Amino acid sequence: MRALIVIDMQNDFCPGGALAVTGGNEIVSPINQIMDEFDAIILTQDWHPAGHSSFASSHDASAFSFIEMPYGQQILWPDHCIQDSEGGQFHSGLNTKNADLILRKGYNPLIDSYSAFFENDHKTPTGLAGYLKTRKIKDLTFVGLATDYCVAYSALDAARLGYEVSVRTELCRAIDVEGSLEIALRDMRLTKVNLI
């Protein structure tokens, strides 16, 4: 069984949003178009409480600066994808009606959560692996935003967990701060993620 996992196609990651990814809106229709190639469609949704610890505003710091957290270094973001805000909603063009599962992440105020499998402490599971096991899904294709953060973290965890993993890079867009895209692509290649 094959699943398409669409990462964080939300208003705040699209042009005009709080953490806009260049070209984020361009991939909406092509993602809709490949949905019928898969046995299951899973959408993830970045879903932070106001005052989340990954927000620069929570630390009186500037956006895109770094801070040491109990689980390691954390880049600080502009406030984004706040629960129930317009910015947290899916892009209005995204086909959400075919979704089998909508997985929310980042709701723990003290831990950021890029990966669809684990929070950034690399220990706290989101429950996705259990869902996939129950549905006998072993082959995963990732698309969405952003290539170098939530897509890469999810694909890397998936490969380490033993899934067959592909990332359709033309259906992803990157934030690319301080070489993060190049690092993410290198790590994915080294971890046997198929970049297509």
Q: Which residue is nearest to Zn ion (CB)?
A: 46
d(CA 86, CA 17): 9
5 near ligand VGL, judged by CB under 6 A = no
Among 171, 196, 176, residue whose Cα is nearest residue 26:
171
Binding mask of the shown chain, residues 131 to 170, with x at each position contacting ligand VGL by CB under 6 A: --------------xx--xx--------------------
Measured between alpha carbons, how far is residue 23 from residues 79, 145, 195 in Å? 20, 10, 19
Report the Cα 193 to chain-centroid distance in Å.
16
Instruction: Please indicate whether residue 123 is annotated as part of the active site.
Output: no
Instruction: Please indicate whether residue 150 is annotated as part of the active site.
Output: yes
Query: Of the residues 12, 46, 81, 105, which is catalytic?
Result: 105
Q: Which is nearer to ligand VGL, 1 or 93 (CB)?
A: 93
Instruction: Please tell me whether residue 32 adopts helix, strand or coil conformation.
Output: helix
C-beta of residue 94 within 8 angstroms of C-beta of residue 9: yes
14 near ligand VGL, judged by CB under 6 A = no
Q: Which is nearer to Zn ion, 88 or 155 (CB)?
A: 88
- List beta partners, residue 43: 6, 102
Query: Of the residues 46, 79, 148, 150, which is catalytic?
Result: 150
Which residues bind to ligand VGL, rule: CB under 6 A?
8, 13, 46, 77, 114, 145-146, 149-150
Active site residues: 8, 105, 150
